Amino acid sequence: MNEQAGAPIVVCRELIKNFESKAETLHVLKGVDFELSPGSSCSIMGSSGSGKSTLLSILGGLERFDSGEVTVGNYALHQLAEKALPQFRSKVVGFVFQFHYLLKDFTAIENVALPAYMMGIPRKEAWAKAKNLLEKVGMADRIGHFPSELSGGERQRTAIARALINDPLVVLADEPTGNLDAANAAAVEELLYGLPSLSGATIVLATHDPALAESADRRFMLFDGKLSAT
Amino acid sequence: MKFGSSFFIAARTLMGRPDKADISNRRSAAIPRKEKALSSSSGGMAGAILGIGISLVPLVLVLIVSDGMIQGITRRYMETKTYHLQVAVPDGMDDKESQVGIKAIQSLPGVTSAFLEKNGSGVAVSASSSGAVMLRAIDPAFFSDPGTKGFLTVDAGKIAPAGNRDIVIGSSLAATLKVKLGDSLTLITPNPETAANETAAADFSGYSPRLSFFKVSGIVSAGYRDLDALWAFITPEMGMRLLTYPSSATFFGVKVAHPYANSLGAAKNAIIERLGSVYPDWFDPYLARTWPEIEKSLYKSFGTTKSMLLFIMGIALIIAALNLGSALSTFVAEHSIEIAVLRSVGASDAALKTIFVGAGLITGSIGTVLGLTLGLLISWNVNYLISGLEWLVSAIDSIIAFASGHPSIPLKLLDPAYYLEKIPVSIDFSQIALIATLSVALSAVASLIPALKASRISVQELIRKM
């Protein structure tokens, strides 16, 4: 990580996001303020529809917002042009979804290597890096397997390795254990919270699960469009 | 995003990899319903590949077969009837005078041979039938010319009349007249004395036919009924006696080394220049004509028919490309989640478009290779396939005839009575390359809309749906 220790890696100031429809305007985020330090972990809890996924999408450059300031790494998203977003997504953030969404026709190592290969990293180098990451997440013996040949936990660990391939500053995990049984959920939880020491990445985790949220360095609750520390 | 990675993703996503059935089955119970939805079939893309391939087969077949047939017919016409060039000369030109012109033409670069021909119409009468004939009196060297020998085959007897009472006729004419080798044949031609008479020329009163008696010394075939049904060859000496102006024409028939090349026009100009100096008294440039000028309407009709067929086949190819576009659109819809994931890991709009245009190119290329291979294979073996089809249909017909008691009529698709005896296969690889390029380009164009759709898939909507 090339961020200076102490300087926040994520900064949100007065973040407001509304969804307009013909019938009404939905005020999802009504001025969210928070900061995260490099290499830390934080969890965001909240009921369904509270705006957790929207907040993660904004942090990941997938969603635009109405007002406020959001800075992730050196990227000020409120000023960033649409064209620069793909580069931001590939270099600064990594996503882990509730469902693994691995590409079914690609092996575990290919799924992990793809984001790097797409960035222009030579194939050999991308594959070597993917292999190394899969080893780190305990998938050394499954690198040549297709998603259909992996268990739910293995798929999610592969998805985590994929999120880490481009050395992101921030990993955004949206309900990462929501689709797993207790044993696999525990393994994935351990892996996610170990990421700061494994790769130096900051973890932002949205979840319903209080047990999963509890292990984070900082815990937030998103309620009525406002984020508060718990 | 580099092209290599786009190509890798496009190729792998299109072709997929077969999952190991045993492991899939074992694990299938653990795969959530929503995840299973990702496993779309690639049947649509296989259908698109097949569609392009199948649409190319008739296109290639029409192109090759029509080219072969047109060239087969034109070549026969050129080598046995029209020559590559003709120069009309005055009727009654004596042998000495004509030899001067022929030698002058033969000395020109690119000219392979030149002959004096005199032809005209007559009626042939046999013991049991009669029919109109085109009498041709040509220099005997014409019959030993490689071009003539290549297309004029001897069915019986000799290829050229040896004596003044010998006549060589076309195979279809022989069949019409019901004559065979050695049979007698009477020719009725206009009497030179009465034909020259002014009154006779005006209203045929006082017209007296001239009867000449011949023996069939050869039966030949050019492999094309239009030619075989009319021709009767006699010696130049008999031609001088029987064929007289205005019911006959006399000309130099010229053959060149490359009749299909643009140099034919240059050869014509050279002949015009040379004969202008050899025969300054009467020669005029309009007297020289090339083979496309002589049979203009015939070749234009061939060209139009070929163009129409290619146009129809081209429409089939466009429909196949649209089918590919439709299959790719379905493919995009089925793989929207994967596309969204690619976006989330940094794939730009341009990268996604590249992937799907690449997918279109790959699909189109595979279909094109399949179609061209199959089309070329069928074209190369078209005569065997037609023979096989004839045999099969005739066999079925024989069985039906046997069962019903009606007579069997064997099928003859390539009956020389109507067309060529066999289809000459002529492959112009530059045209094949053009078709291949067109097919792949159409596939790329057809994939633009699905590519645009792919680039508009929103990751946020995907996340909200989860």
- pLDDT tens digit sequence for A107-150: 999 999 988 988 888 999 999 999 998 998 888 899 999 998 99
Collect contacts of A223-229 with beta carbons under 8 A, ≥24 apart: A223/A46, A223/A47, A223/A50, A224/A30, A225/A27, A225/A28, A225/A29, A225/A30, A225/A31, A225/A32, A225/A51, A226/A30, A226/A31, A226/A32, A227/A12, A227/A32, A227/A33, A227/A34, A227/A44, A227/A55
Residue of B nearest to A102 (CA): B338
CB-count burial class (<10 Å; 0-12, 13-18, 19+) for B26: exposed
Residue of B nearest to A148 (CA): B24
- List residues bridging with B87 in a β-sheet: B252, B288
> Does B82 fall in a domain?
no
Mutate to test the interface with B, among A114, A133, A181 (most CBs of B within 10 A): A114
Of B36, B42, B38, which Cα lies nearest the Cα of B18? Answer: B42
CB contact under 8 A, B5 and A117: yes
Residues of B in contact with A57 (CB under 8 A): 459-460, 463
- pLDDT tens digit sequence for B59-83: 888 888 887 777 777 888 888 888 9
**B118 and B251 inside one domain:** yes
Of the pLDDT bands very low, low, confident and very high (cuts 50, 70, 90), residue A182 is confident
Q: What percent of chain B has pLDDT over 90?
A: 28
Mean pLDDT comparison of B165-169, B384-388, B422-426, highest-scoring range: B165-169
Predicted pLDDT at B326: 82
More confident position, B432 or B313: B432
More confident position, A89 or B19: A89
* Number of structural domains in chain B: 2
**B45 and B130 inside one domain:** no
Give the three-state DSSP class for B88. strand
Question: Is A114 near chain B, with CB under 8 Å?
Answer: yes
Predicted pLDDT at A128: 94
Interface of A with B in 26-65 (CB under 8 A): 53-54, 56-57, 60, 62-63
Residues of A in contact with B20 (CB under 8 A): 146, 149
Which amino acid makes up residue B75?
A: R
Enumerate residues 6+ apart whose C-beta is below 8 A from B339.
B332, B352, B454, B457
CB contact under 8 A, B346 and A90: yes
**B327 and B262 inside one domain:** no
Please determine, for residue B54, whether its predicted confidence score (pLDDT) is greater than 50.
Answer: yes
Q: What is the DSSP letter of A104?
A: T
Round the average pLDDT of chain A to a whole number and report it. 88
Residue of B nearest to A113 (CA): B5
Q: What is the mean pLDDT of residues B124-133?
A: 91
Determine the distance in angstroms separating the CA of A124 from the nearest CA of chain B, rounded to an integer.
12
**B172 and B221 inside one domain:** yes
CB contact under 8 A, B463 and A174: yes
Determine the distance in angstroms separating the CA of B11 from the nearest CA of chain A, rounded to an integer.
10
Task: Tell me the count of A-B CB pairs closer than 8 A.
Answer: 117
Residues of B in contact with A83 (CB under 8 A): 348
Question: Is A208 near chain B, with CB under 8 Å?
Answer: no
Of the pLDDT bands very low, low, confident and very high (cuts 50, 70, 90), residue B23 is very low
**B241 and B374 inside one domain:** no
DSSP A172-228: EEESTTTTS-HHHHHHHHHHHHTHHHHH--EEEEEES-HHHHHTSSEEEEEETTEEE
Q: What angle (nearest 5°) sits at the alpha carbon of residue B220, between those of residues B218 and B221?
A: 170
Determine the distance in angstroms separating the CA of B364 from the nearest CA of chain A, rounded to an integer.
21
Of the pLDDT bands very low, low, confident and very high (cuts 50, 70, 90), residue B136 is very high
> Does B84 fall in a domain?
no
Determine the distance in angstroms separating the CA of B64 from the nearest CA of chain A, rounded to an integer.
40
**B95 and B50 inside one domain:** no
Please determine, for residue B41, whether its predicted confidence score (pLDDT) is greater than 60.
Answer: no
Please determine, for residue B213, whether its predicted confidence score (pLDDT) is greater than 90.
Answer: yes
**B268 and B395 inside one domain:** no
More confident position, A161 or B2: A161
Question: Is B18 near chain A, with CB under 8 Å?
Answer: no
Question: Is A104 near chain B, with CB under 8 Å?
Answer: yes
Helix, strand, coil percentages, rounded to 5, for chain B:
60, 15, 25
Determine the distance in angstroms separating the CA of A68 from the nearest CA of chain B, rounded to an integer.
19
Q: What is the mean pLDDT of residues A201-221?
A: 90
Interface of B with A in 320-349 (CB under 8 A): 337-338, 340-349
Predicted pLDDT at B49: 82
- pLDDT tens digit sequence for A47-86: 888 889 899 989 999 888 999 999 999 899 999 998 888 8
- pTM to 2 decimal places: 0.65
Mutate to test the interface with B, among A96, A148, A150 (most CBs of B within 10 A): A148
Please determine, for residue B45, whether its predicted confidence score (pLDDT) is greater than 80.
Answer: no
Where a domain ends, among B253, B281, B309? B281
Predicted pLDDT at B92: 75
**B45 and B116 inside one domain:** no
Predicted pLDDT at B193: 65
**B141 and B26 inside one domain:** no
> Does B316 fall in a domain?
yes
Question: Is B31 near chain A, with CB under 8 Å?
Answer: yes
CB contact under 8 A, B459 and A57: yes
Distance CA B101, CA B88 (A): 11
> Does B101 fall in a domain?
yes
Domains and CATH numbers, chain A: 38-63+81-229 (3.40.50.300)
**B179 and B231 inside one domain:** yes
Q: What is the mean pLDDT of residues A19-24?
A: 84
Question: Is B25 near chain A, with CB under 8 Å?
Answer: no
**B260 and B177 inside one domain:** yes
Please determine, for residue B197, whether its predicted confidence score (pLDDT) is greater than 70.
Answer: no
CB contact under 8 A, A63 and B344: no
Residues of A in contact with B9 (CB under 8 A): 114, 118
Give me the residue from B32, B337, B460 closest to A63, CB to CB: B460
Question: How many residues are present in chain A?
Answer: 230
Predicted pLDDT at B174: 93
Give me the residue from B1, B12, B19 closest to A118, CB to CB: B1
Q: What is the DSSP letter of A2?
A: -
B27 φ, ψ to 5°?
-90, -15
Predicted pLDDT at B66: 80
Of the pLDDT bands very low, low, confident and very high (cuts 50, 70, 90), residue B204 is low
Mutate to test the interface with A, among B2, B5, B342, B462 (most CBs of A within 10 A): B5
DSSP A3-68: SPTTS-SEEEEEEEEEEE-SS-EEEEEEEEEEEE-TT-EEEEE--TTSSHHHHHHHHTTSS--SEE
Predicted pLDDT at B25: 39
Please determine, for residue B203, whether its predicted confidence score (pLDDT) is greater than 60.
Answer: no
Q: Which residue range(s) make up the domain with B37?
A: 3-67+301-465
CB B72 within 8 A of CB B393: no
Predicted pLDDT at B37: 33
Question: Is B271 near chain A, with CB under 8 Å?
Answer: no
A72 φ, ψ to 5°?
-125, 120
Question: Is B403 near chain A, with CB under 8 Å?
Answer: no
Give the three-state DSSP class for B168. strand
- Here the ipTM equals 0.78
Of B233, B34, B207, B208, which Cα lies nearest the Cα of B124? Answer: B233
CB A203 within 8 A of CB A173: yes
- pLDDT tens digit sequence for B320-367: 788 778 877 887 777 787 788 888 877 888 888 888 888 888 888 998
> Does B288 fall in a domain?
no
**B13 and B56 inside one domain:** yes
Round the average pLDDT of chain B to a whole number and report it. 81
> Does B287 fall in a domain?
no
Give the CA distances from residue B177 to residues A134, B126, B162, B180, B397, in Å, rounded to whole numbers and listed in that order: 90, 6, 22, 9, 31
Predicted pLDDT at B38: 37
Please determine, for residue A4, whether its predicted confidence score (pLDDT) is greater than 60.
Answer: no
More confident position, B64 or B193: B64
Predicted pLDDT at B219: 94
> Does B289 fall in a domain?
no
Give the CA distances from residue B386 to residues B164, B379, B418, B424, in Å, rounded to whole numbers and listed in that order: 43, 11, 15, 13
Residue of B nearest to A175 (CA): B466
Question: Is B50 near chain A, with CB under 8 Å?
Answer: no
> Does B446 fall in a domain?
yes
